[in-house]
């Protein structure tokens, strides 16, 4: 059976992930793969309720981090793990790197504490159906690849200036997004084999080309020669 594949998209608000997520899903479908397209915060009925709280209700940074991981656990158990076990491609608009970037670097919540929560939420019996219980305690689910849309915070702010009514994150000052961007850079540095940095400060076509190169390089998608320039 085809092996499941887990890809996340990350980047500060305004980095321009959305249309490319749909494009990548379509590219996989055209090559015969079944794609589960999902997002965080959210991705299940329970986690979508938690998303609404996270984006609109005031709370302290620990509560925010716990809610992010509670939703993530449900998302993994209900959606991501079953889809991977069926051999599908799971594409998620954000995953755990966002918690490190926003709650960790952005809000200033302790990075090591987040690593503990990460391990708790993404490990354990009931998460991975093929693993024996002793292995399940060691295994930690992470994306196979993270496409990180890197964009200077001030450019993102200009793009967002004309956007809809901002949520609790989008309404933060520029300094917050500068810290979030640094948080992503720190996560990328710690996991260079998982992260593919996409220069998002360029045209839409050039961004798509970087994505096709990164995914094609792994051998997960075949792209026409013309796309490989």
Q: Are 101 and 187 in contact (CB under 8 A)?
A: yes
Q: Are 169 and 103 in contact (CB under 8 A)?
A: no
Site string for ligand TYD, 45-74 (x = CB under 6 A): -----------------------x------
Q: How far is the CB of 192 from ligand TYD (least distance, A)?
A: 21
The verdict on 9 binding ligand TYD (CB under 6 A) reads no
The stretch among 97-105, 116-124, 132-140, 200-208 that binds ligand TYD (CB under 6 A) is 97-105
Q: Which is nearer to ligand TYD, 96 or 221 (CB)?
A: 96
The verdict on 88 binding ligand TYD (CB under 6 A) reads no
Tokens of 100: 């490190």
Q: What are phi and psi of 60, to 5 degrees?
A: -85, 165
Q: Is 126 left (phi over 0), alpha (psi -120 to 50) or beta?
A: left
What lies within 8 Å, CB to CB, of 30 at 6+ separation is none
The verdict on 41 binding ligand TYD (CB under 6 A) reads yes
The verdict on 10 binding ligand TYD (CB under 6 A) reads no
Single residue of 38, 44, 99, 146 touching ligand TYD by CB under 6 A: 99
Could you tell me the CA-to-CA distances from 218 to 86, 168, 180, 223 in Å, in that order?
Answer: 21, 36, 28, 12
Length of the chain counted residue by residue? 229
The verdict on 21 binding ligand TYD (CB under 6 A) reads no
Site string for ligand TYD, 138-177 (x = CB under 6 A): -------------------------------xx-------
Q: CB atoms < 10 A from the CB of 60, how many? A: 10
Query: Beta strands of the chain (E only): which ranges?
Result: 5-11, 35-39, 89-93, 145-150, 195-199
Q: How far is the CB of 197 from ligand TYD (least distance, A)?
A: 19
- Rounded CA-CA distance 65/67 in Å is 5
The verdict on 80 binding ligand TYD (CB under 6 A) reads no
Q: How far is the CB of 3 from ligand TYD (least distance, A)?
A: 25
The verdict on 44 binding ligand TYD (CB under 6 A) reads no
Q: Which residues bind ligand TYD (CB under 6 A)?
A: 13, 39-41, 68, 93-94, 98-99, 102-103, 169-170
């Amino acid at each position: 059976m085809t092996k499941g594949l887990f890809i996340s998209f990350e980047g500060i608000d305004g980095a321009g992930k959305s249309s490319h997520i749909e494009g990548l899903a379509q590219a996989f479908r055209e090559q015969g793969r079944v794609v589960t397209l999902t997002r965080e915060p959210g991705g299940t009925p329970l986690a979508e309720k938690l998303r609404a709280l996270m984006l609109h209700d005031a709370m302290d940074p620990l509560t925010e981090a716990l809610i992010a991981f509670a939703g993530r656990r449900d998302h993994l158990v209900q959606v991501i793990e079953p889809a991977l076990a069926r051999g599908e491609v799971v594409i998620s608009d954000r995953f755990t790197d966002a918690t490190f970037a926003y709650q960790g670097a952005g809000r200033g919540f302790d990075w090591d504490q987040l690593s503990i929560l990460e391990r708790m939420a993404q490990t354990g019996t009931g998460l991975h159906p093929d693993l024996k219980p002793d292995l399940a305690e060691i295994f930690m689910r992470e994306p196979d690849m993270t496409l990180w849309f890197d964009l200077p915070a001030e450019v993102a702010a200009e793009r967002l200036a004309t956007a809809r009514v901002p949520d609790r994150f989008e309404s933060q000052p520029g300094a917050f997004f500068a810290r979030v961007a640094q948080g992503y850079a720190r996560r990328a540095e710690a996991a260079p084999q998982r992260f593919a940095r996409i220069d998002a400060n360029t045209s839409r076509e050039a961004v798509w080309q970087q994505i096709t190169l990164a995914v094609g390089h792994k051998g997960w998608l075949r792209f026409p020669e013309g796309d490989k320039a």
